[in-house]
Every structure is written in C-alpha cells, then in structure tokens.
Chain A
Amino acid sequence: MQFSTHTQGEFTVVAIGEARMDASVAPELKHSIAQLLADGVTRIVLDLSQVTFMDSSSLGALVSLLKMVGNRGDLIVAGAKGIVADLFKLTRMDRVFRMTESVDAATCAVAA
C-alpha cells in the first residue's frame, strides 16, 4: 500500500497514495496505522483525497483503528469525496468518524 506520513502541527498526517482501497490493502492499512499508534502517535489525520474507491473491508479496518485510538487520541478522516464519502454516509460511519473536507480543515478545526 502506497502512503506517506508527515507532521502538521500536532498531527501526523497519513496520506493514502492508492486510488483503490479494497481488500488487498486493508490488512496493510490496519497494520501500518496500528504501528504508528504503537509508536506513540495519538493524533492522526488520514488524507483520503487521492482515493476514488473504498470497500467495506478497508472501511472496516478504519473502524477497528478508531476503536484502538479510543478516547486517547484522534483519527480524523480528511478529503473523502465521491463514492468514498458515500460509503461513509451509507454505513453511517460519517457519524462515528470526525470527517473534514481537507487536511488543513482537520488540523485547524481541532487546533482551534
């Protein structure tokens, strides 16, 4: 799975570089972000602006990660659009995840 991380303010931004987030990337997605959490990162913004397709298994991986983060930190979903945003809405996960239009919106809103 292609992704890159960088720090923006208090946040670690994880930018997904895959157009498709399906069953073939879900385990690695879960593992990589779980590793970040194990390394002590608590505030994560997941940048999905490059993603054009997501399936239930990848969304399920995110749900498991959100559980891991729990009340100790943040896992904010930024830049979801089109059918990716639709998937969050359809499954009501837009009510569970904090979702923002962009990475900047995520880091600003929470900082403020």
Chain B
Amino acid sequence: MKAMILAAGKGTRVRPITNEMPKPMIPILRKPVMESIVELLRTHGVHEIVVNTSHLAPVIENYFRDGNQLGVHIAYSYEGYMTEDGLEGKALGSAGGMKRIQEFSGFFDETFIVLCGDAWIDLDISAALRQHREKGGIATIILQEVPHEEVHKYGVVKLDEHQRIVQFQEKPKREEAVSNLINTGIYIFEPEIFDYIPAETEYDIGGQLFPALVAAGEAFFGIPMDFQWVDIGSVPDVWAATRMALLGQIHGFQMPGKQVQPGVWTGINVSINWDQVKLTPPVYIGSSSKIEAGSHITGPCMIGANCVVESGAEISECLISDYTRIGGMAALDNKLIFGGDCISPDGSTMNVSETQIRWLVDDMRRVLNPSDIHDMMLFNNMLSYYGELEHENEVA
C-alpha cells in the first residue's frame, strides 16, 4: 500500500503557532505529529509516501527530506508558486492534491491510504486495509464513534446495514445528526477514485468527492474503528495533547529523554540543582536547559531545549518552547510560551515584545537592555517590599 499525507492546510485555528510552522510540524512533546504518522505507516508496511505541501512547505520538506532517516521514501507535491516575495501557497484541496499527483506520475497504482498530517493516531492500518478489501468498495472511510454532544464538531456519516455510506452531514447540530459516527479524515482508496476527481481544480474529499460518490450511487464504505485519535486542530488541542502525553494518556506514546525520577524526564546536558528545585511531576525538561535553584515547576509541564528558568520562577502547567528564558519573577500558570508569545489555553495571546515584558520572558539568546533592567528592578523592588510587609504582618 502507498500513502498520501495531507499537509497543505494553513492551520488558521492554531495561530500564532502556525505562523512559524505548519500544523503537521506541531510537536507533541518534541515529536512533530507527522513524524508519528510516518512511523505508524512504516510499522504497517507503507514505505512510499507523497506529502502535499503548501503553507510553510520548506519547514516540512527540510525536516523529513527524502524520508531516509525514518526508513521510508517521501516525496512532496508542492501546491503554490514562487513570486518576487518568495513562496506563495495555493492549496488545491485534499482531493485536488491527490489528483495533481496522479496526473503527474500515476503514483497511485494500487490501494492507497490518505490521512491528515495533523492528528496523532494509533490506528491499526493493516486491519483497516483488510476490512477495506473485504468490503470491496472504491473508498473506505475510517470512522469513529463520538459522544452525541460532540458531533457538531465533525463530519457525520450514516451507514446502511452493509456499512455502505448513504448520507453525509458536515458539522450538524446535535438534534439533527443522523448518527454519532464521524469521519476521522483517514481514507483508503482504489485508484479508480480518480474518475470522480476533476483535474486542476480545488476539490475537497469530505465536502465534494464523497457527496459526488453518493450522488453517483458508487459503493463506498465506512468502518468504525477503535483507536486513539488526538487532534491538534486548535491551540487548546495542542495543550490538551501535550498534557495527555505527559500524563501517559496517549496509548503507546514514547516519552522523549530519560526518566530521572518518577514522572520526571529530561534530555541530556541539563543543568539542574535537584535538591533546590521544587518539581511536581509529570515534568519534561529538554536538553541543554538550565533550571536554577529556588524555582518551582508544577506538572503537567514541558520545558523545551536550551531554556533557562531563573531562580524564583514559578511555572505551573505550562508548555515552554526551546530557547526561552523565564525570569525569576515570572509566575506562569497554564501558559504556552511559543515564538515570543504567551498563549492561554483559550487561544488569547500576549506578545512579550508588544507588552514589553522581555525582561520577564524572552528568547534566552537575547541580551537584556537598560530599559529591561530598569523594569526588572522596579518590579523586583516592589515585590520584595510587599513581601517584607506581608512577612511583618504575619509576624505581628
């Protein structure tokens, strides 16, 4: 079996993270989601993978290259143009992207799987392929059962008694949903599917191709499968996925680094005064990071590589990306620090540069300037003054 990974989306719901990296590159505890997908494909004997790229294509292409380091062959189908200002993506839609590859080389000459690059899954692909062959249809959609109150977020599918798909609904209201089986965005196709996809046109699998198959009376099937599917479609999702990984709730997820204490993992070359740092697991600390004495880290928490957490800092349930300096006065609670932004799980964003708090949270490679130091002193004095006052009150 061959595969196509859909990686051309803009990921607008994951901004500002996707200003820097496309969704498939968003890591769950350091590993891009798409890397886990490639590994899963390889485990099930899929070795030839074409990835359609568009938004921030080079980030994906430079990471996976030809796939050799992951033991597979990877090729890219770039959707866009080079202009005076650089690359400008123009995505063709999921089905349009497939068609482009097929028109180019006829790559899909056998049964193939198409899946989104932006969800962590542990699907038994071999079992899904077996069921697809048993059904004998032109297409099979991998479905999942969800609670009725969640159907409004997904594409809902209705099956007949032979598991043939008879109806599609895009994000229906709970009371109007025809079932609680949802489309997971994982499909197995036969090459004949291309008869239904127009060339050189933006065309979507869920929104256009499947309704066209229903209209044509083509036999295609849905198979409900029990597997873990961790979507990272939004900033809260990214946070939730990282927490789940840290809490051991993602089945089969391999923690990076080594476990140095129960529930505490680190990379190598870390500088931590273990006796004087208050750690509450689960916590992951990346390679080459420094955690100074007197700081508090409360899990679930992930601190990236090359970070500095200064003495006194309080970090609770945070996700901190590489090369971040957290000043000693900082109290971070439920925050994602990413690319100079301090993001709350609800997606609201505070930019550390715009807010002028680079004295508190910043790239650790940047040297503090006099105005940073002025602010730091001002706030620090105030805090110690009130700290002493409080202490006096307590004593009194």
Contact = CB atoms under 8 A, between A and B. Distances in A.
Nearest to A82: B348
B66 interface: no
Contact of B378 (A64, A89, A90): A64
B350 A83 contact: yes
Interface in A39-60: 53-57, 60
Interface residues of B, number: 25
Nearest to B314: A92
A56 B382 contact: no
A95 B342 CA distance: 20
B178 interface: no
A67 interface: yes
B368 interface: no
Given A55-B355, A92-B331, A92-B383, A86 B375 contact: no
Given A95-B383, A96-B383, A86 B342 contact: yes
B356 A90 contact: no
B84 interface: no
Given A63-B379, A64-B378, A89-B331, A56 B386 contact: no
A90 B375 contact: no
B329 interface: yes
Contacts of B360: 56, 90-91
Interface string B307-320: 00000000000000
B378 A60 contact: yes
A83 B341 CA distance: 12
30 contacts: A23-B356, A55-B354, A55-B355, A55-B356, A55-B357, A56-B356, A57-B356, A60-B375, A63-B378, A63-B379, A64-B378, A67-B382, A83-B349, A83-B350, A83-B355, A86-B350, A90-B330, A90-B331, A90-B332, A90-B342, A91-B360, A92-B379, A92-B383, A93-B379, A93-B382, A93-B383, A95-B383, A96-B382, A96-B383, A96-B386
Interface of A: 23, 53-57, 60, 63-64, 66-67, 82-83, 86-87, 89-93, 95-96
